[in-house]
């Protein structure tokens, strides 16, 4: 994985205006475990043109020896909205985007927001990627936030990111929902004791059980990885 090479993040200069990268990912424990057992997903996360941040205490403990920086998606999104002039969102519906614009107006943030709605799909082959690329190209933006959740957003970014790095894609998932408060963020007490997973499991069991099942399946690969590093 291509981790940041310093703990002191100069956000605007290093991770927004950087012609060497075309995507930024936030890896939590579930997505990291997926990368250990899914070769195609691993190729995406390990791209040399991507920067990876740890989004969670557990995965940060695993990856910090290799240079990973703990930078949760919600904090990153807040900084992003402060530092860019315009931001294109892929995924959120119009109601969510209007809610975001109202929040930004109340916060006196002048970032220009645009969006492209992504229809529900099970497999990326169901999307008209060429039309989507053309639609993105017609927008006057450099920064594109993809809000689809793991692994859909990473797979889509991998398909859309171009070689000349004229766009930077951000896989932000639930960070958007936390920002517009359509989804409740893990309370501080759970974060303090590093048991965010328990809160998510209690609130959204149907959504979280498949994710934690994947974690359990990957335990042998995870142990092997930890012993290696």
Give mean pLDDT, residues 123-143. Answer: 93
Determine, yes or no, domain membership for 38: yes
Residue-range definition of the domain harbouring residue 190 = 11-228
Does some domain include residue 4?
A: no
Mean pLDDT across 216-228: 93
d(CA 130, CA 51): 25
pLDDT of residue 5: 57
Query: Is 3 within the bounds of a domain?
Result: no
Q: Is 205 among the domain residues? A: yes
In this structure, is residue 97 part of a structural domain?
yes
Q: How confident is the model at residue 14 (pLDDT cuts 50, 70, 90)?
A: low
Q: What's residue 27's pLDDT? A: 94
Confidence at residue 7, expressed as pLDDT on a 0 to 100 scale = 47
Distance from C-alpha of 67 to C-alpha of 51, rounded to nearest angstrom: 11
Structure tokens at 157: 């970014």
- How many DSSP H helices and E strands does the chain contain? 12, 6
Q: Is residue 1 part of a domain?
A: no
Q: Is residue 35 a part of any domain in this protein?
A: yes
In the predicted model, what is the mean pLDDT of residues 141-145? 93
Condensed to tens digits (0 to 9), the pLDDT of residues 75-119 reads 999 989 998 999 999 999 999 999 999 999 999 999 999 999 998
Instruction: List pLDDT tens digits, range 161-211.
Output: 977 778 999 999 889 999 998 877 777 787 777 677 777 778 778 878 888
Whether residue 2 is contained in a domain is answered as no
Whether the predicted pLDDT of 6 surpasses 70: no
Q: For residues 101 and 158, is the Cβ–Cβ distance under 8 A?
A: no
Number of domains making up the chain: 1
Overall average pLDDT of the 16-41 stretch: 87
Confidence band, pLDDT 50/70/90 cuts, at residue 17: low
């Amino acid at each position: 994985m291509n981790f940041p090479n310093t703990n002191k993040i100069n956000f605007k200069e290093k991770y927004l205006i950087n012609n060497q990268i075309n995507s930024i990912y936030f890896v939590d424990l579930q997505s990291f475990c997926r990368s250990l057992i899914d070769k195609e997903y691993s190729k995406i996360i390990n791209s040399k043109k991507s920067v990876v941040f740890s989004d969670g205490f557990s995965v940060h403990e695993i990856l910090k020896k290799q240079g990973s920086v703990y930078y949760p998606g919600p904090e990153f999104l807040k900084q992003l909205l402060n530092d860019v002039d315009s931001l294109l969102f892929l995924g959120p519906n119009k109601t969510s985007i209007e809610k975001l614009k109202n929040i930004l107006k109340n916060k006196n943030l002048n970032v220009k927001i645009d969006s492209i709605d992504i229809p529900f799909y099970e497999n990326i082959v169901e999307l008209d990627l060429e039309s989507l690329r053309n639609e993105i190209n017609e927008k006057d933006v450099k920064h594109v936030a993809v809000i689809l959740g793991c692994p859909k957003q990473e797979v889509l970014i991998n398909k859309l990111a171009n070689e000349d790095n004229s766009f930077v894609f951000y896989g932000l998932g639930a960070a958007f929902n936390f920002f517009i408060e359509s989804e409740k963020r893990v309370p501080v007490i759970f974060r303090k004791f590093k048991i965010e997973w328990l809160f998510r499991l209690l609130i959204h069991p149907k959504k979280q059980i498949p994710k934690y099942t994947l974690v359990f399946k990957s335990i042998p690969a995870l142990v092997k990885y930890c012993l290696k590093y």
